[in-house]
Structure 1
Amino acid sequence: MIKKYLFPLSFCTLLMACNAMPTSGPSQSSIMGLQNESSTLPVVNVVEIDDNITTTLFNQQQAQSFSQFPQTGRNYFGTVNSGDMLDVMIWEAPPAVLFGSVLNQSGTGSSQLTSLPEQMVSEAGKITIPFLGAVHVRGKTPEQIQREIVNRLKPMANQPQAMVRLVKNNSANVTVLRQGNSIRMPLTAHGERVLDAVAAVGGVSENAEDISVQLTRGSQVKTISLETLAANPQENIVLRSGDVVSLLNNPLSFTALGAVGANKQVKFSAKGLTLAEAIGRMGGLIDTRSDPRGIFVFRYLPFDSLSLTQQNFWASRGYSKGMDVPTVYRMNLLEPKSMFWLQRFPIQNRDIVYVSNAPLAEFQKFLRIIFSISSPVTSTVNSVNNL
Structure 2
Amino acid sequence: MLAAVALLASCGLPRSGPNKNEIFAGSVLREGDAFVLIVDDRVNRIASVSPALGFSATFNNAGVLGSDTIQPGDILGLTVWENVDDGLLVPTGQPATVLNEVQVDGSGFIFVPYAGRIRAAGNTPEGLRQIITSKLEDQTPAPQVQVRRLAGDGSTVSVSGGVGAQGVYPIERPTRTLSSMLAQAGGVVIPPEIAQVTVVRGNTTGTIWYEDLYDNPQGDIALRAGDRIMVKEDSRTFTALGATGAQNRIPFETKSISAIEALATVGGLLSAVADPTGVFVFRNEPAEIANQLLDRTDLIGTQRVVYILDLTRPNGMFMARDFAVRDGDTIYVTEAPFVQFNKVVAAATGSLNAATAATDIAGN
Settle same-fold status: TM greater than 0.5.
Answer: yes
Which blocks of at least 5 consecutive residues in structure 2 are unaligned? Answer: 292-296, 355-364
Cα deviation per residue 1:83-141 (whole Å; 9 max; x = unaligned)? 32331312316556443333xxxxxx652132154222352x43222222232333222
Q: Is the 8 A contact 1:193 1:236 kept in 2?
A: no
Distance 2:8 2:58 in 1: 59
CA offset digits 1:309-359 (Å, max 9, x no partner): 9798344xxx7xxxxx65543323244454344334343455432111234
Task: Confirm or deny: 8 A CA contact 1:65 1:235 kept in the other structure.
Answer: no
SS at match of 1:165: strand
Map 1:213-362; keep pairs closer than 5 Å.
213-216=197-200, 218-224=203-209, 228=211, 232=215, 234=217, 237-241=220-224, 242-249=226-233, 253-269=237-253, 271-299=255-283, 307=288, 313-315=299-301, 327-348=305-326, 351-362=329-340
Read off the aligned partner of 1:120 and give its amino acid letter. Answer: V
User: Given the alignment of the two structures, is residue 132 of structure 1 paired with residue 124 of structure 2, yes or no?
Assistant: no
Distance 1:51 1:267 in 2: 27
Question: Shift of residue 257 of structure 1?
Answer: 1.9
Tell me, yes or no, if the aligned pair for 2:157 and 2:229 is still in contact at 8 Å: yes
The 5 A counterparts of 1:1-387 are 17-20=8-11, 21-36=13-28, 43-44=33-34, 46=36, 48-56=38-46, 58-61=48-51, 63-65=52-54, 71-78=60-67, 79-81=69-71, 83-92=72-81, 94-95=83-84, 97-102=87-92, 111-123=95-107, 125-154=108-137, 156-165=140-149, 167-170=151-154, 172-178=155-161, 183-198=167-182, 212-216=196-200, 218-224=203-209, 228=211, 232=215, 234=217, 237-241=220-224, 242-249=226-233, 253-269=237-253, 271-299=255-283, 307=288, 313-315=299-301, 327-348=305-326, 351-367=329-345
TM-score, reference length from structure 1: 0.67
Q: Following the alignment from structure 1 to structure 2, what is the Cα–Cα distance between the partners of residues 206 and 88?
A: 41
Q: What do the CA deviations read for 1:59-83 (whole angstroms, capped 9, x no partner)?
A: 425x2256998633333334334x3
What is the alpha-carbon distance in structure 2 between the residues aligned to residue 98 and residue 262 of structure 1?
83
Structure 1 distance, partners of 2:116, 2:237, is: 64
Given that 1:150 and 1:162 are in contact with CA atoms closer than 8 Å, whether structure 2 keeps it comes out as: no
2: CA distance between counterparts of 1:72 and 1:207? 29
CA change 1:77–1:151 in 2 (3 A) is: same
Task: Point out where structure 1 has 5 or more consecutive residues left out of the alignment.
Answer: 1-8, 103-108, 320-324, 377-387
CA contact (8 A) 1:272 1:346 kept: yes
Q: SS at 1:363's partner residue?
A: helix
Tell me, what secondary structure is at the counterpart of 1:277? helix
Indicate if the aligned counterparts of 2:8 and 2:347 stay in contact, CA closer than 8 A.
Answer: no
Task: State the distance in 2 between where 1:232 and 1:32 align.
Answer: 43
Q: Does structure 2 retain, via aligned residues, the 8 Å contact 1:251–1:270?
A: no
User: Conserved in 2, the CA contact under 8 Å of 1:276 and 1:343?
Assistant: yes
Deviation at 1:34, TM superposition (A): 1.8
Q: Is the 8 Å Cα contact of residues 88 and 164 (structure 1) preserved in structure 2?
A: yes
Between the aligned partners of 2:30 and 2:241, the Cα distance in structure 1 is 27
Preserved CA contact (<8 Å) 1:153 1:160: no
Q: How many residues align?
A: 343
Q: Distance in 1 between matches of 2:48 and 2:134?
A: 59
Change (3 A) 1:231 1:70: closer
Q: Using the alignment, how far apart are the partners of 1:145 and 1:38 within structure 2?
A: 77
Amino acid corresponding to residue 134 of structure 1 in structure 2: R
> Is the 1:294–1:332 Cα contact (8 Å) retained in structure 2?
yes
Q: What amino acid does structure 2 have at the position aligned with 1:244?
A: R
Give the distance between the partners of 2:43 and 2:170, measured in 1 at CA. 43
Give the direction of change, closer, same or farther, for the CA distance of 1:193–1:298 in structure 2 (3 Å limit). farther
Q: Aligned AA for 1:64?
A: L
Question: How many angstroms apart in 2 are the aligned matches of 1:255 and 1:113?
Answer: 72
TM-score scaled by length of structure 2: 0.71
Q: Tell me whether 145-154 or 229-238 shows the greater mean CA deviation.
A: 229-238
CA RMSD of aligned residues (A): 4.5
| Structure 1 residues 258-277: Cα deviation after superposition (integer angstroms, max 9, x where no partner) | 22234345454364533221
Mean alpha-carbon deviation: is it higher for 133-142 or for 43-52? Answer: 43-52
Q: 1:73 to 1:247 in 2, by over 3 A?
A: closer
Q: Secondary structure at the match of 1:34?
A: coil
User: SS at the partner of 2:121?
Assistant: coil
Question: Do the aligned partners of residues 194 and 100 (structure 1) sit closer, same or farther apart at CA in structure 2, a change above 3 Å counting?
Answer: closer
